[in-house]
């Protein structure tokens, strides 16, 4: 091994490990004991990882006495191999049994991309070499040679390496025995010899290396003779140095210090700047790759949708039950109305939910939502509330560098079957609304939200595009209603796809400039969009939703909600809810 070999980057991990073992350079391996530390080793610039038995046991909190099973060790290695593309040399202790266990171990390690295994000539279960080493029984030499041969015969990758570790110096059997065993293991097929010493000086290692005289690669673990200059190992012709346990020890002292400090000071303020930032953990976990994959694979590549829920009102006709809370916090079948809505959005993957509160906004449960408050709620209408929310959503998107995405705008007092929202968010149209064609009787309801469309709900025309023409508002109802019966009732759901967002903002800006903006509600926005030439697609439904506008609605909403819950309490309830739903809702 005198001539310098040409440097090359071998393709497979096992080939790279073998190259390190046979190269004329002094090479280094760093201990890792889990996925995170394996990644840290790679980032530090090391070319290979030592899968330390001591460190892997320690991170499980067990002793280095084969207390962790070999399959648990192999599972840990899988995380390490996933987290780092470096070759891993497993510290395989004694091979976890006889020759047959070694055969199976080698096959399993190859399957998980592990580059090699080191086995030591002690008896199973072993004890760490630095604990009473003299008392440790060695394996029978011939039996150990059988293990090496069995391992070599069972590998299918020619570059998989088996390193034979000689424990004769540790156990006090002397230099001659160490050399005798090393030679026997070399002849049995070992790709390298690991000669271990527990002395604080390198004398016996250097003597061994001299006597060995380059018969094969030598690996050392200078944990105890750590003060020896590395140049000494280089000059002695050592192939590879293993830094065997320094990351688990570094982590241990850092954790001890931080735990102690936080416990005694009862605050995080003293440690925050001296520990890894949470973002650093995310980086080591490759969180960015997940976000990119999410954009590629989730929701047909769309940015996750947002929802704006208008929930500022106390609710006319509900004064008796809304003294201390807004309408959206009324309990329906055991949970607040707003929670039903939020759950429905989350079920469709719409997780960025902004709720605009107003009346008793302090009573709104903010779990899983962002609350904005329309402070002027008593003097303003729905569009003023919507404006508060759109400003917030726009700001957030800029902050998150997410200028894409769809937004559902919803009344806060709705209950509906989940397909209604699913179909709405799947609509490709820039704007789309849900209209209930079963509600056309303007006599029995307030004049708001009736919808006139380009065609009625003719199921024979299924698949044809129907566009919204007009929605009745409290202000300008009469003119629209006069001429012909409506085609249904807008239920209070508007989906704005990414393509329509800027156009919605433009129309909102024009409306905001109007002197009467404070009095405008959602129908005025829909009509202004239509007047601006936008097409608003209609998705007809026939019942299957409820609004909560008065005490009567409130009472019936419970039945409807029960029908939405998994395994509805009774079939009677579920059936009743369907009937009620098609009976219509009022606003």
- Give the binding site for ligand SPV (CB under 6 A): 52-54, 91, 128-129, 221, 223, 244-245
Answer with the entry of Mg ion, ligand SPV, none that 129 interacts with (C-beta below 5 to 8 A by kind): ligand SPV
Closer Cβ to Mg ion, 52 or 580, answer by number: 52
Single out the residue of 256, 129, 133 nearest to residue 194, CA to CA: 129
Closer Cβ to ligand SPV, 92 or 326, answer by number: 92
State the minimum distance, in angstroms, from the CB of residue 54 to ligand SPV.
Answer: 3
Between CA 560 and CA 567, with CA 566 as vertex, the angle to 5 degrees is 95
State the minimum distance, in angstroms, from the CB of residue 176 to ligand SPV.
Answer: 22
Cα 41 from Cα 569, distance rounded (Å): 56
Cα 429 from Cα 302, distance rounded (Å): 14
Closer Cβ to ligand SPV, 167 or 191, answer by number: 167
Closer Cβ to Mg ion, 92 or 305, answer by number: 92
Beta bridge partners of 411: 310
Please report which residue ranges of 431-550 form alpha helices under DSSP H.
Answer: 477-483, 498-512, 522-531
Answer with the entry of ligand SPV, Mg ion, none that 221 interacts with (C-beta below 5 to 8 A by kind): ligand SPV
Contact (Cβ atoms closer than 8 angstroms) between residue 107 and residue 160: no
Between CA 174 and CA 183, with CA 179 as vertex, the angle to 5 degrees is 150
Contacts of 456 (CB under 8 A, 6+ apart): 437, 487
State the minimum distance, in angstroms, from the CB of residue 190 to ligand SPV.
Answer: 16
Answer with the entry of ligand SPV, Mg ion, none that 154 interacts with (C-beta below 5 to 8 A by kind): none
SS3 531: helix
The structure tokens 């606003």 sit at: 587
Contacts of 375 (CB under 8 A, 6+ apart): 358
State the minimum distance, in angstroms, from the CB of residue 116 to ligand SPV.
Answer: 14
Closer Cβ to ligand SPV, 52 or 527, answer by number: 52
Contact (Cβ atoms closer than 8 angstroms) between residue 566 and residue 426: no
User: 64, 93, 121, 553: which is the annotated catalytic residue?
Assistant: 64
Cα 289 from Cα 375, distance rounded (Å): 41
Question: In a 10 Å sphere around its CB, with 0-12 CB exposed, 13-18 middle and 19+ buried, how is residue 389 labelled?
Answer: buried
Q: Which two tokens stand for residue 526?
A: 């829909």
Closer Cβ to ligand SPV, 131 or 398, answer by number: 131
Residue number of the CB closest to Mg ion reads: 53
State the minimum distance, in angstroms, from the CB of residue 90 to Mg ion.
Answer: 10
Is 64 tagged catalytic?
Answer: yes
Answer with the entry of ligand SPV, Mg ion, none that 223 interacts with (C-beta below 5 to 8 A by kind): ligand SPV
Contact (Cβ atoms closer than 8 angstroms) between residue 546 and residue 560: yes
State the minimum distance, in angstroms, from the CB of residue 176 to Mg ion.
Answer: 25
Pairing of strands 414-416, 488-496: unpaired
**What residues make contact with Mg ion under the rule CB under 5 A?**
53-54, 91
Active site residues: 64
């Amino acid at each position: 091994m005198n001539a310098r070999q040409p440097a090359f980057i071998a393709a497979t991990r096992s080939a790279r490990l073998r190259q390190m073992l046979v190269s004329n350079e002094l090479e280094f391996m760093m201990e890792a004991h889990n996925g995170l530390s394996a990644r840290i080793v790679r980032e530090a610039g090391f070319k290979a990882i030592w899968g330390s038995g001591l460190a892997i046991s320690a991170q499980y909190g067990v002793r280095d006495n084969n207390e962790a099973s070999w399959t648990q060790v192999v599972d840990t290695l899988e995380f390490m191999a996933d987290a780092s593309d470096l070759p891993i040399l497993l510290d395989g202790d004694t091979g976890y049994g006889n020759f047959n266990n070694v055969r199976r171990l080698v096959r399993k390690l190859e399957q998980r991309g592990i580059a090699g295994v080191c086995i030591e000539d002690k008896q199973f279960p072993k004890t760490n070499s630095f604990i009473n080493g003299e008392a440790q029984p060695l394996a029978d030499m011939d039996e150990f040679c059988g293990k090496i041969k069995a391992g070599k015969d069972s590998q299918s990758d020619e570059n998989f390496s088996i390193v034979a570790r000689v424990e004769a110096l540790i156990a006090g059997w002397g230099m001659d025995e160490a050399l005798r065993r090393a030679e026997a293991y070399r002849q049995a097929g070992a790709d390298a010899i690991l000669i271990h010493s527990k002395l604080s000086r390198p004398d016996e290692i250097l003597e061994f290396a001299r006597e060995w005289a380059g018969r094969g690669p030598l690996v050392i673990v200078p944990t105890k003779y750590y003060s020896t200059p590395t140049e000494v190992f280089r000059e002695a012709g050592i192939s590879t140095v293993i830094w065997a346990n320094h990351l688990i020890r570094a982590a241990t002292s850092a954790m001890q210090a931080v735990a102690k400090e936080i416990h005694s000071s009862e605050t995080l303020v003293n440690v925050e700047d001296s520990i890894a930032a949470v973002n650093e953990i995310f980086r080591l976990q490759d969180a960015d790759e997940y976000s990119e994959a999410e954009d590629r694979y989730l929701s047909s590549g769309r940015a996750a949708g947002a929802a704006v829920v208008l929930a500022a009102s106390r609710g006319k006709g509900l004064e008796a039950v809304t003294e201390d809370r807004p309408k959206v916090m009324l309990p329906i079948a055991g949970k607040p109305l707003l929670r039903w809505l939020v759950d429905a959005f989350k079920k469709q993957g719409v997780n960025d939910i902004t709720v605009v509160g107003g009346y008793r906004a302090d009573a709104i449960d903010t779990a899983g939502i962002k609350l904005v408050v329309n402070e002027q709620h008593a003097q303003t209408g729905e569009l003023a509330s919507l404006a508060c929310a759109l400003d917030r959503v726009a700001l957030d998107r800029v902050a998150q560098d997410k200028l894409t995405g769809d937004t559902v705008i919803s009344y806060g007092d709705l209950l509906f079957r989940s397909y209604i929202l699913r179909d709405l968010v799947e609509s490709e149209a820039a704007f789309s609304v849900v209209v209930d064609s079963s509600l056309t009787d303007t006599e029995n309801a307030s004049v708001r939200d009736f919808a006139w469309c380009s065609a009625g709900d003719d199921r024979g025309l299924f698949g044809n595009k129907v566009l919204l023409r007009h929605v009745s508002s409290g202000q300008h109802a009469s003119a629209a209603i006069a001429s012909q019966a409506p085609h249904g009732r807008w239920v209070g759901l508007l989906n704005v796809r990414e393509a329509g967002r800027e156009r919605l903002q433009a129309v909102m800006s024009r409306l905001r400039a109007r002197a009467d903006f404070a009095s405008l509600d959602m129908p005025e926005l829909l009509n202004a969009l239509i007047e601006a030439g936008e097409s608003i697609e209609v998705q007809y439904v026939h019942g299957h939703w409820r609004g909560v506008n008065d005490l009567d609605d409130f009472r019936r909403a419970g039945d409807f909600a029960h029908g939405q819950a998994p395994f509805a309490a009774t079939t009677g309830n579920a059936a009743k809810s369907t009937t009620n739903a098609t009976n219509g809702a009022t606003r």
